[in-house]
Amino acid sequence: MSTRTLLSPAALARPRGKAVYWTVFTGTVLLFVIAFLFPVYWMVTGAMKSADEVARTPPTLVPERWHVSGYTDAWELMQLPEHLWNTVVQAAGAWLCQLVFCTAAAYALSKLRPAFGKVILGGILATLMVPAQALVVPKYLTVADLGLLNDPVAIWLPAVANAFNLYLLKRFFDQLPRDVLEAAEMDGAGRLRTLWSIVLPMSRPVLGVVSIFALVAVWQDFLWPLMVFSDTDKQPISVALVQLSQNIPLTVLIAAMVIASIPMVAMFLAFQRHIIAGIGAGSTKG
Amino acid sequence: MTDTAQRRTVAKVAVHPVQAPPPAGDRRRRRLADQARAYGFLVGGLVCFALFSWYPAIRAVVIAFQKYTPGGEPEWVGTANFTRVFQDPEFSAAWRNTLTFTLLALLIGFAIPFVLALVLNELRHAKAFFRVVVYLPVMIPPVVSALLWKWFYDPGTGLANEALRFLHLPTSNWSNGADTALASLVIVATWANMGGTVLIYLAALQSIPGELYEAAELDGANLLQRVRHVTIPQTRFVILMLMLLQIIATMQVFTEPFVITGGGPENATVTVLYLIYKYAFLYNDFGGACALSVMLLVLLGAFSAVYLRLTRTEGESA
């Protein structure tokens, strides 16, 4: 690193500086392992202990015998395949709807100069001031009136009303040079064609960010699916976990918690560079 | 990649002859067709915003003054919903808990990530490890974090008391004690969410020019003075922004109390959003739920307005 930080490179090069640095470094690694990795380890191994061992005090650090039955029981008893599939359908649909409708709307607001475009954009940005959770009850009543309860559409369409993602897309489209789009038009490409073969390929980074936001939001959500899906067979995994947590053996519940965490953690580990860079960059630029 | 795509299209166009402008009579029809096409692109998004954002906001205010049962005819009741909600002993408990939660989350949940980011920014090794590990809990579904900590807080076999016993400290009731429940939930929320704060603050720290620290050092400023007179003023805006975002988020806390404590013991962890949920789905009192929603809306709206105002002015000056 060329830029210096709070500590000067000279201070760190001194023997005393080096000793302090390595002490702090080791301390931080230990803290991170204990605070963030150990709970995850405890969860993964807790699911592999026997029902008797998991309730023992003092607890065992490593399972005496490794049981996989917690995981297999969770898979079957709690109908995890069904609930995971529900979550996948809800998340994928919300992602697709956002990509189609938010992208189209952002493109129109950015490049097609619709009448009252400013008013519409203002109305969309105003919803940023209204935190989503405060409106869940009237939103629920609207979804009920439309007959969408216990239907994944109740997740898909409200997900489109995401001012943050729409504004992110619009701002990105604003930066695309107008002459490129006009050139494509003169070439005889229609608006849809221009969007599909010029704008979207140029927007891959922002589409990636929006996709990740969309998927994570649905997978992690709890209150809204709790309200909308009273039917147990339709519930996503987050709601099912809480509903079933009362009358299921502890090891089975823990195993189900591990399984429920795997998809998003795996996605994070696969795209960690992009996600971490995106969080830092997106936020400092406002 | 963007550059070549751009050049290719421009080059392709250059060989085309310039089109003649359309005759004047066609222009108006053409403009109308353009508008129709623009609205064709807009309509899907507009319908969703109208149905699930704009209309519910208006409806919350309307139903707050009605007696409303789904399917039945709504009835105007004036401010009766508000007075009924005000008289509910849970109302003051919920607001007190939510505000205490927000305040504690600011004290614990803001100071820790702030210090952690400062330390991480000084470490020259294993950078990727720290960033991935601190963000890992954010990726675990909130329901799973809540259930995990509920297990940790178990008074008998939980890890939290086990750790205290290991350190020869007196054990605690954690989420099961009326005095400690709210603080226990703040720990969960902090653990689960601080990754985002750390990463955003780290990015801000990296944008501080190194010369400022050099100059401060030449002036004889020690470590703490450098933090106070360089780091904090240089990242003032991000600190403020993160604080407001956190206030807005923690005022809407629901999952942790719902999953871990169920609002108890003795209403010690009922939050405003939890109370809204109870009014709607346990008492079937949608008027009361909407009256509460409107109150939360006004308060959070004020915070959001400040936040947007800040980001807007900073964006313009940058």
Share of chain B above pLDDT 70, in %: 90
If you measure CA to CA, which chain A residue comes closest to B149?
A39
| CA A20 vs CA B115, B220, B221, B266: distances in Å | 17, 21, 19, 48
CA–CA separation, A159 vs A213, rounded Å?
Answer: 11
Judgement on whether residues A120 and A163 belong to the same structural domain of the protein: yes
Judgement on whether residues A99 and A48 belong to the same structural domain of the protein: no
- Residue B247, chain A, CB below 8 Å: the answer is no
Residues of B in contact with A8 (CB under 8 A): 213-214, 217
Interface of B with A in 76-115 (CB under 8 A): none
CATH of the domain at A241: 1.10.3720.10
- Residue B315 clears pLDDT 80, i.e. is over it: no
If you measure CA to CA, which chain B residue comes closest to A259?
B144
For residue B57, being part of any structural domain is answered with: no
Mean pLDDT computed over B245-256: 90
For residue B288, being part of any structural domain is answered with: yes
- Residue B262, chain A, CB below 8 Å: the answer is no
Q: In terms of C-beta density within 10 A (0-12 exposed, 13-18 middle, 19 or more buried), how is residue B264 classed?
A: middle
CATH of the domain at B252: 1.10.3720.10
For residue B33, being part of any structural domain is answered with: no
For residue B98, being part of any structural domain is answered with: yes
Mean pLDDT computed over A162-183: 87
Which pLDDT belongs to residue B19?
56
Interface of B with A in 286-315 (CB under 8 A): 286, 289-290, 293, 296-297, 300-301, 304-305, 308, 311, 314-315
Task: Check CB contact under 8 Å for B44 and A100.
Answer: yes
Mean pLDDT computed over A175-203: 83
Judgement on whether residues A117 and A206 belong to the same structural domain of the protein: yes
Angle (CA) B146 B150 B156, round 5°: 170
Do A138 and B60 contact (CB within 8 A), yes or no? Answer: yes
CA distance A184 to chain B (A): 7
Judgement on whether residues A209 and A230 belong to the same structural domain of the protein: yes
Mutate to test the interface with B, among A4, A5, A219 (most CBs of B within 10 A): A5
pLDDT bin (cut points 50, 70, 90) of residue B199 is very high
- Residue A130 clears pLDDT 90, i.e. is over it: no
For residue A254, being part of any structural domain is answered with: no
- Residue B23 clears pLDDT 70, i.e. is over it: no
Judgement on whether residues A40 and A118 belong to the same structural domain of the protein: no
| Number of helices followed by number of strands (H, E) in chain A | 19, 0
State pLDDT tens for residues B258-280: 999 998 888 899 999 999 999 99
**Which ranges of chain B does DSSP label H, i.e. alpha helix?**
2-14, 24-49, 55-63, 80-87, 89-122, 127-139, 142-152, 159-166, 181-206, 210-218, 223-226, 232-234, 236-250, 255-256, 272-281, 286-317
Do B293 and B278 contact (CB within 8 A), yes or no? Answer: no
- Residue A188, chain B, CB below 8 Å: the answer is no
Residues of B in contact with A169 (CB under 8 A): none
Task: Check CB contact under 8 Å for A123 and B131.
Answer: no
Which pLDDT belongs to residue A131?
77
- Residue B182 clears pLDDT 60, i.e. is over it: yes
pLDDT bin (cut points 50, 70, 90) of residue B1 is very low
User: Which SS3 state, helix, strand or coil, does residue B317 take?
Assistant: helix
For residue B128, being part of any structural domain is answered with: yes
State pLDDT tens for residues A15-32: 888 999 999 999 999 999
Which pLDDT belongs to residue B120?
94
Tally of domains within chain B: 1
Q: Of A21, A49, A73, which marks where a domain is finished?
A: A73
For residue A281, being part of any structural domain is answered with: no
For residue B178, being part of any structural domain is answered with: yes
Mean pLDDT computed over A84-102: 95
- Residue A269, chain B, CB below 8 Å: the answer is yes
Mutate to test the interface with B, among A107, A133, A149, A193 (most CBs of B within 10 A): A133
- Residue B310 clears pLDDT 90, i.e. is over it: no
Judgement on whether residues A168 and A202 belong to the same structural domain of the protein: yes
Angle between helices A204-220 and A272-284 (to 10 degrees): 100
Judgement on whether residues A153 and A126 belong to the same structural domain of the protein: yes
Q: What 8-state DSSP symbol labels residue B66?
A: E
- Residue A198 clears pLDDT 50, i.e. is over it: yes
Residues of B in contact with A117 (CB under 8 A): 38
Q: Which of A21, A144, A279 sits opposite B199 (nearest CB)?
A: A279
If you measure CA to CA, which chain B residue comes closest to A23?
B123
Tally of domains within chain A: 2
pLDDT bin (cut points 50, 70, 90) of residue A194 is confident
- Residue A262 clears pLDDT 80, i.e. is over it: yes
Interface of B with A in 119-178 (CB under 8 A): 119-126, 128-137, 139-144, 147-148, 151-152, 156-157, 159, 162, 165-166
Residue B180's CB: how many other CB atoms inside 10 A? 17
Residues of A in contact with B147 (CB under 8 A): 241-242, 245, 253, 257
Share of chain B above pLDDT 90, in %: 52
- Residue A2 clears pLDDT 70, i.e. is over it: no
For residue B304, being part of any structural domain is answered with: yes
State pLDDT tens for residues B47-104: 999 999 999 999 999 999 999 888 788 889 989 999 999 999 999 999 999 999 999 9
- Residue A160, chain B, CB below 8 Å: the answer is yes
- Residue B304 clears pLDDT 60, i.e. is over it: yes
Which pLDDT belongs to residue B21?
59
Task: Check CB contact under 8 Å for A142 and B56.
Answer: yes
Which pLDDT belongs to residue A282?
59
pLDDT bin (cut points 50, 70, 90) of residue B248 is confident
Mean pLDDT computed over B184-205: 92
One-letter amino acid at A284 equals T
Structure tokens at B171: 């054990």
Does the reported pTM lie above 0.80? yes
CA distance B304 to chain A (A): 5
Which pLDDT belongs to residue B11?
43
For residue A266, being part of any structural domain is answered with: no
Mean pLDDT computed over B303-313: 78
- Residue B38, chain A, CB below 8 Å: the answer is yes
CA–CA separation, B243 vs B259, rounded Å?
Answer: 25
Task: Check CB contact under 8 Å for B276 and A139.
Answer: no
Which pLDDT belongs to residue A195?
85
Judgement on whether residues A129 and A233 belong to the same structural domain of the protein: yes
Q: What 8-state DSSP symbol labels residue B50?
A: I
Of A159-163, A267-271, B14-18, B161-165, the range with the lowest mean pLDDT is B14-18
Mean pLDDT computed over A170-197: 84
Judgement on whether residues A32 and A93 belong to the same structural domain of the protein: no
Share of chain A above pLDDT 90, in %: 53
Most distant CA atoms of chain A, gap in Å: 76
Judgement on whether residues A222 and A153 belong to the same structural domain of the protein: yes
State pLDDT tens for residues A227-238: 999 999 999 999
Please give the residue range of the domain that contains residue B311. Answer: 91-317
pLDDT bin (cut points 50, 70, 90) of residue B13 is very low
CA–CA separation, A120 vs B53, rounded Å?
Answer: 13
Residues of A in contact with B4 (CB under 8 A): none
* Ramachandran bin of B20, using left for φ above 0, alpha for ψ from -120 to 50, beta for the remaining angles: beta
- Residue A197 clears pLDDT 80, i.e. is over it: yes
Judgement on whether residues A55 and A123 belong to the same structural domain of the protein: no
Residues of A in contact with B227 (CB under 8 A): 6
Mean pLDDT computed over A137-146: 94
For residue A117, being part of any structural domain is answered with: yes
CA–CA separation, A132 vs B53, rounded Å?
Answer: 8
Please give the residue range of the domain that contains residue A164. Answer: 79-247
pLDDT bin (cut points 50, 70, 90) of residue B314 is low
Average pLDDT, chain B: 86
CA–CA separation, A181 vs A187, rounded Å?
Answer: 10
If you measure CA to CA, which chain A residue comes closest to B15?
A187
Judgement on whether residues A42 and A119 belong to the same structural domain of the protein: no
User: Which SS3 state, helix, strand or coil, does residue B76 take?
Assistant: strand
Q: Which of B122, B133, B143 sits opposite A7 (nearest CB)?
A: B122
Structure tokens at A104: 């189209």
CA–CA separation, B287 vs A282, rounded Å?
Answer: 39
pLDDT bin (cut points 50, 70, 90) of residue A3 is low
Residues of B in contact with A93 (CB under 8 A): none
More confident residue, A114 or B109: A114
Angle (CA) B257 A238 B272, round 5°: 30
State pLDDT tens for residues A44-68: 999 999 888 888 878 888 888 898 8
